[in-house]
Amino acid sequence: MATITVTEPTTFPALILSTDIAGFNSANGYFGANANANTLLNVTCLQDVTVTNGTGIFSWTDFCSASINKVTTPSDNEISTNIVIDPNVFFGVSGAVASSAKQLGVSGISNDRVEVAFRFQLNDPTANATPDANVYCYTGVGYISSVAPTVSPDAPVWVSPLTIAVNGDLTAFKS
């Protein structure tokens, strides 16, 4: 049986964000010619991840059938995770390209309601403009929500939930 493994330090999941929606190709996870280490935001240190493809179902009954009839409705897709807060990832990096994901950080992207292109890589931590070979990915565009940093005396590391509410389709592929 084949599996997708995630073991530190070589094959952990990564979420890569870009504010350059126009240059993004969700079919192959390519961020575009302007994407580089000074624009892309690599959100690592994920604690857990859930990818939800919520295709809705509308059901009805009528007098023509003894069974319930069903038809699909549009999907409501999202990626949910919890992140360990890294100051550069969460608050952004000064000196990065203006208005880029790397300059805004997770908090700025969420606070400013900036739509982002994303590539969630199941088994590769690199933040390249294109994914490495044999990497399983989900891509799309959406908005970051549900950011809520928390800390406590018995868990003294800042963590935060993070949800990407996908705007449109969620694309899955293997590079």
CATH number of 14-174: 2.40.30
User: Tokens 């059938």 appear where?
Assistant: 65
Q: Say yes or no to pLDDT of 130 above 90.
A: no
pLDDT recorded at residue 37: 85
Contact between residue 15 and residue 120 where contact means Cβ atoms under 8 Å apart: yes
Cα–Cα distance measured from residue 169 to residue 121, given in angstroms and rounded to the nearest whole number: 17
pLDDT recorded at residue 8: 66
Q: Say yes or no to pLDDT of 117 above 90.
A: yes
| pLDDT band with cut points at 50, 70 and 90 for residue 105 | very high
**Could you give the 3-state DSSP secondary structure of residue 49?**
strand
Average of per-residue pLDDT across 147-168? 96
Cα–Cα distance measured from residue 82 to residue 38, given in angstroms and rounded to the nearest whole number: 24
**What are the domain boundaries of the chain?**
14-174
pLDDT recorded at residue 1: 56
Question: Of 28-37, 55-64, 121-130, which range is least confident?
Answer: 121-130
Cα–Cα distance measured from residue 138 to residue 97, given in angstroms and rounded to the nearest whole number: 25
Cα–Cα distance measured from residue 50 to residue 163, given in angstroms and rounded to the nearest whole number: 9
> Pick the residue with more confidence: 76 or 3?
76
Q: Say yes or no to pLDDT of 138 above 70.
A: yes
Q: Say yes or no to pLDDT of 75 above 70.
A: yes
Quickly list DSSP for 103-154.
Answer: HHHHHHHHHTT--EEEEEESS-----SSPPTT-EEEEEEEEEE----EEETT
pLDDT recorded at residue 12: 84
* Exposed/middle/buried for residue 68 (C-beta within 10 Å: 0-12, 13-18, 19+): exposed
| pLDDT band with cut points at 50, 70 and 90 for residue 19 | very high
Cα–Cα distance measured from residue 90 to residue 104, given in angstroms and rounded to the nearest whole number: 8
